[in-house]
Structure 1
Amino acid sequence: MPTEHPEPTTAAERRNARLYLTGLGLSMVGDTALSLVAGIWVKSLTGSSALAGLTQMCIYLPSLFGPLAGLIADRVPRQRFLICVNLCTAVAVACLLFADGAQDVWVICAVMAAYGTSLVLIDPAETALFAHMFRPSTRGRINGLRLGMQETGRLVSPLIGAGLFTWLGGGAVALLDAATFVAAAAATALLKPPPEQARPPRARWRTEILAGAAHIRATPALARILVVAALIMAVSGVGVAAQYSMVAALHRPPGYLGVLASLLGGASVLAGLVSSRVLARVGLDNLALLGLAAFACGSALRSVAWMPSVWLGSFVLGFALPWVFLAALNAGQQLTPDHLQGRVAAAVTLLLFGPQAPAQALGALLISHVGYRSVYLASALSAVVLAAVLAQGARRSSPPEHTVATDGET
């Protein structure tokens, strides 16, 4: 794939980018903090781990309706829709102020369900507006910054949320999150995207909902990257349980995983920050290949019960999934027409993250029958195979480097 030469950003793009990243950064802090605190809050009110786990189910259950959310994102004015959803979510989250005893756990669960619904609605609309608002070169840079912010948020926000809950209680975290949704709505209102394009006539509802998946199947360059990305994400889910056995083999307590997770998270932040430069130099397919190579190397290094190897493997793994994910994300945005952006974004999310729960369950079953080294080595081999498949597909679809000589030329 030829190297892309980034175009200089315009003043309007820079302004929109600052507003977009500001709103996104604030909402990420509140989102991550509340997701953690909801379970802690229910546990402290009831003493029940089962009820605490129920709050997480309430958050993720609405993700089943992702394809419908993608259709909505492609049929409504996206900017106004995002403003409305953010403000409604702020009101819903503020209702947590009425939860002050075990009898009010239903309030927390109901709010978490509404909260999860808002996340499902916001994601495809935000992705579609983002793709419409920025040119490909600008999107690549902002996608990298966005991923870096997400990874930083995952490291910092739980500490903020847990600390605020311990100090002032769950109501304070609820107010923080409500405020971040209001801030996100304000930042979205200040954006100045170009006029939205005319949308094609509506078809049957089934055809409309499945249009994103149909577009992916009909676009080989997009399907190739997405299928590989979905498979390696599933492989990573299978390996989750192996990390506990790995730490035990190092003669460390389970809490030592926090150290390794911080190392991996720091590398993921760095991967996001440098991704736009790497993407501009090597292209989408090669960015995914680099991620797969990092996954293979990191998994192989983690299979060795030696602390320096595990540390290095954890750091290298931090580059793997971010680069594969960014290749898939940018491919979806670049190879999709505006009227399908929401549905393709929803399909991408479902493809990449839908298999995580069953993959982790499979990994938990496997680790009781095979050693963690076998899991990591099999993961490394899977990444090598997927890299070979992706490279072969990319070569087949690439145009020939040399044109055929015309008559009279030698």
Structure 2
Amino acid sequence: MGTVGALGAIRRLLAGRRDLRLVLTAGLVSVTGDWVLATGLAYCVYVLTGSTVASAVTVTATFVPQVFLGPLAGVFADRWDRKRTMVATNLLLAVGLAPLMLVRDRSQVWIVVAVLVYQGAVSQFFAPAEQAMLPRLLAEGEVVAEGELLTANTLLAQSRDLARLIGAALGGVLAAAGGIRALAVADAGSFAAAAAFIGFVRAGGRVQAAQHAQHTQHARRVADVVRELGAGLRLTLARRVLRVLMVFVLLTGIGEGVMGTLFAPFVRQVLHGDSRAYGLIAAVQAIGGILGGLAVAALGRRVPPARLLGFGALGFGAVDLAIFLYPLGYAAIWPAVLGMIVVGLPGALTVAGMYTLFQQHTADAFRGRAFGALIGVEGICQLVATLAAGYLAQAIGIVPVLVVQGLCYLAAGLTVLLAVRENDVQPRRPRNVRRRSATQA
């Protein structure tokens, strides 16, 4: 199946699926704004302070809520109407950016940190709701074909790649032209628009009544939140594929914590680039991601999601190592730009493979809290790695610490390829999970 076949598969999936088109459009708009803010803010904070520790603290602010609220948010994604949750979080995120309009010098960086903590907290309720909702947009919550689910996740990833291409480049320009205030206005507008698009979705967002009664009895009592958190953790520990995914996000979370902290200092100090160069380098990964999405659509019916995930992570780690190490002999911008385009290809395989594998092995009633358990683990790793990266970079240099990111992806890819077996393809029924305790898993 070539490019023409891949495009045909995408067209067939989107035809007649109005709700899916709306959600993809909303994601494109809001993630564009996120990249505008994230790219420009990372550079602005480093320019204001000149400190990798300050950069680490800023990035850490987005991970702290993930650690404490990620699993909890997953529980509520299985309780609340997922569509309304997605609309409400977008509106709250838009309003929460207002304090950034006050930031003018390094003494006010604490405002940036406070806003990012708030943004990170609210966004935790969006991610599990979106992941739980996506299969329902294809078949009203029923089982869908693996190829369709993989293509839908690929389209979601491609919309985010396109958002990155636009938003990261625009973030560098806005950071130079209007500073933090311009970044805040752009991101707030994107959240408001995304809320409007999701508001037109017709599909219901609540867990089916029978499933809700079966898995979340007496949900109004506070004590049941703890019980449901435990159910999500038991689900993750009881299923082999989900245990492997937990190890995967643990390793890649460490890598992403390092990358998020040190990539802006890498561009400025190692490559001697300005904010526009940083925006360009951050943006062009999306080009490879878009092309990689076509490859996923072409391979989806022939290559299992686990193989896409494993080989994608290996390729991602290898290319990242090349990006981090080439300046030791040749400090120029263009190889980094080329490398970021190339790394987008395996990145697309990784994202589509991971989310498809996750959705295949979780029932609708458990999907939110299982996703919350995974992002909670990821958040802990990112938090620790972010803080460590800021201090280690000052002690031993930026490049040696960045190498850890590439090595983590190599280890994660090998873990998936070695640990996920062919007979793990079909998910087991949720009732098997309830018969087993976490210690038995």
When normalised by structure 2's length, the TM-score is: 0.69
Q: How does 1:236-275 map to 2 (within 5 A)?
A: 253-255=271-273, 264-275=285-296
Taking the aligned partners of 1:379 and 1:52, their CA distance within structure 2 comes to: 20
1:147 and 2:157 correspond: yes
Instruction: Identify the residue that residue 176 of structure 1 maps to in structure 2.
Output: 186
1:129 and 2:129 correspond: no
Instruction: Identify the residue that residue 283 of structure 1 maps to in structure 2.
Output: 304
Instruction: Identify the residue that residue 33 of structure 1 maps to in structure 2.
Output: 36
Contact 1:233 1:321 in 2 (8 A): no
Contact 1:82 1:185 in 2 (8 A): yes
Q: How does 1:6-405 map to 2 (within 5 A)?
A: 9=13, 12-13=16-17, 15-38=18-41, 54-64=57-67, 65-94=69-98, 96-97=100-101, 99=102, 108-135=112-139, 136=144, 137-168=147-178, 170-194=180-204, 196=206, 197-198=208-209, 199=212, 200=215, 201=217, 202=219, 204-228=224-248, 230-231=250-251, 234=254, 253-255=271-273, 264-295=285-316, 298=319, 317-352=343-378, 354-359=380-385, 365=392, 383=410, 387=414, 390-391=417-418, 393-395=420-422, 397=424
Taking the aligned partners of 2:252 and 2:346, their CA distance within structure 1 comes to: 10
| Structure 1 stretch displaced more, 209-218 or 366-375 | 366-375
Q: CA deviation at 1:255?
A: 3.7
Per-residue deviation, residues 212-247 of structure 1 (Å, max 9, x unmatched) = 221121222333344345435546767899999x99
Query: 1:146 and 1:105, CA in 2 relative to 1: closer, same or farther beyond 3 A?
Result: same
SS at match of 1:280: coil
Taking the aligned partners of 1:114 and 1:375, their CA distance within structure 2 comes to: 28
Contact 1:242 1:375 in 2 (8 A): yes
One-letter amino acid of the structure 1 residue matched with residue 88 of structure 2: C
Taking the aligned partners of 1:57 and 1:95, their CA distance within structure 2 comes to: 19
Q: CA deviation at 1:90?
A: 2.3
Taking the aligned partners of 1:367 and 1:10, their CA distance within structure 2 comes to: 49
* Cα root mean square deviation, aligned: 4.6
Taking the aligned partners of 1:38 and 1:311, their CA distance within structure 2 comes to: 20
| Structure 1 stretch displaced more, 154-163 or 61-70 | 154-163
Contact 2:133 2:205 in 1 (8 A): no
Q: CA deviation at 1:141?
A: 1.8
Taking the aligned partners of 1:24 and 1:373, their CA distance within structure 2 comes to: 35
Query: 1:151 and 1:175, CA in 2 relative to 1: closer, same or farther beyond 3 A?
Result: same
Q: CA deviation at 1:268?
A: 3.1
Contact 1:16 1:191 in 2 (8 A): yes
Q: CA deviation at 1:23?
A: 1.0
Q: CA deviation at 1:53?
A: 6.2
Per-residue deviation, residues 189-230 of structure 1 (Å, max 9, x unmatched) = 100114641203147332212322211212223333443454
SS at match of 1:281: coil
Gaps (5+ residues) in structure 1? 1-5, 400-410
Q: CA deviation at 1:269?
A: 3.4
Contact 1:299 1:317 in 2 (8 A): yes
Per-residue deviation, residues 125-168 of structure 1 (Å, max 9, x unmatched) = 12222233224444322321222232343343233234335445
Instruction: Identify the residue that residue 3 of structure 2 maps to in structure 1.
Output: none
Q: Which has the larger radius of gyration?
A: 1
Query: 1:229 and 1:282, CA in 2 relative to 1: closer, same or farther beyond 3 A?
Result: farther
Taking the aligned partners of 2:128 and 2:227, their CA distance within structure 1 comes to: 18
Taking the aligned partners of 2:230 and 2:99, their CA distance within structure 1 comes to: 35
Taking the aligned partners of 1:105 and 1:241, their CA distance within structure 2 comes to: 16
Taking the aligned partners of 2:385 and 2:84, their CA distance within structure 1 comes to: 37
Percent of residue pairs bearing the same amino acid type: 24
One-letter amino acid of the structure 1 residue matched with residue 225 of structure 2: W
Taking the aligned partners of 2:408 and 2:94, their CA distance within structure 1 comes to: 46
Taking the aligned partners of 2:181 and 2:393, their CA distance within structure 1 comes to: 41
